[in-house]
Amino acid sequence: MSEFDEPIERLIEYFRSLPGVGKKTAQRYAFYILENSKEKAQNFANAIVEVKEKVRLCSVCGNYSSSEICPICQKRNRKIVCVVQEPKDVVSMEKVKSFDGVYHILFGTINPLENKGPNDIRIKELLARISKDGVQEVIMATNPDVEGEATAMYIAKILKPLGVKVTRLAQGISMGSDIEFADEITLEKALKARQEI
C-alpha cells in the first residue's frame, strides 16, 4: 500500500518527468500542490498551458519569444551574432552585461552518434542572416566538448569564405578554480593561449 491515489500518482509522474526530479522530490512537489489553494493550482496549470500557447520561436534568432521578433533582436546590434546551442545558453551569456550583439540558437550540435547532421540544426537560418543583416562577426559559443567544437569548426569553415569574422570563446582555467584540479586539456589550452601581463 505504498501507492497513492490515482490523481496524486499521476501528478507525481508528471513532476518526475521534469529534468533531474526523482520520486521523492516529485512527491514533495505534489504535496505542495495539495497543501495549497485550488486557485493557486489553477493558476499554475494555466501558466503551463499559456507558455505553450503564447511562446514561439523568434523569427530572427530562434529563441523563445512571445512576439514575432524577440526583445533582444528588436533592440540590439544585429551585426554581431553569438551562436549558442540552446536557449538556456542565452540566459548564461546575458550575464555578460557588456555584450550588445544578438544571438543565434542552433538547437543542438552536429552529432553523428545521434544522427544529427548540419541540416538538423539551424545553420541554414544563420547563413540567411549573414547577408540580410550585414553580419560582421560571428562568435561561436557552442560548448567546449567534442560536438560543440566540431560544430563551431564546421560553421567557421562555411562562413569564412563569405568574408565574415568568426571567433570562438576563449578557453582556459576558470576564475576561482584550482590549477591542481584542472584537467590536462584545459591546462594545455590555457598555456597555448597565454597572454603577457
Enumerate binding residues for a second copy (CB under 8 A).
1-8, 10-11, 13-14, 17-20, 25, 27-34, 38, 41-55, 64-67, 70-72, 75-76, 86-88, 91, 94-95
Spatial distance between the Cα atoms of 65 and 138, rounded to a whole number of angstroms: 22
Residue from 154, 152, 102, 111 nearest 130 by CA = 102
Taking the least distance from each CB to a second copy, the nearer of 94 and 114 is: 94
Min dist CB 118 to a second copy, Å, is 21
Spatial distance between the Cα atoms of 187 and 196, rounded to a whole number of angstroms: 17
Taking the least distance from each CB to a second copy, the nearer of 27 and 136 is: 27
Min dist CB 64 to a second copy, Å, is 6
Taking the least distance from each CB to a second copy, the nearer of 41 and 127 is: 41
Taking the least distance from each CB to a second copy, the nearer of 30 and 138 is: 30
Min dist CB 162 to a second copy, Å, is 28
CA atoms within a 13 Å half-sphere pointing along the CA-CB vector of 150: 12
Helix axes 6-16, 23-35, angle to 10 degrees: 120
Three cell numbers at 195?
A: 597572454
Min dist CB 58 to a second copy, Å, is 10
Three cell numbers at 162?
A: 563569405
Beta bridge partners of 57: 64
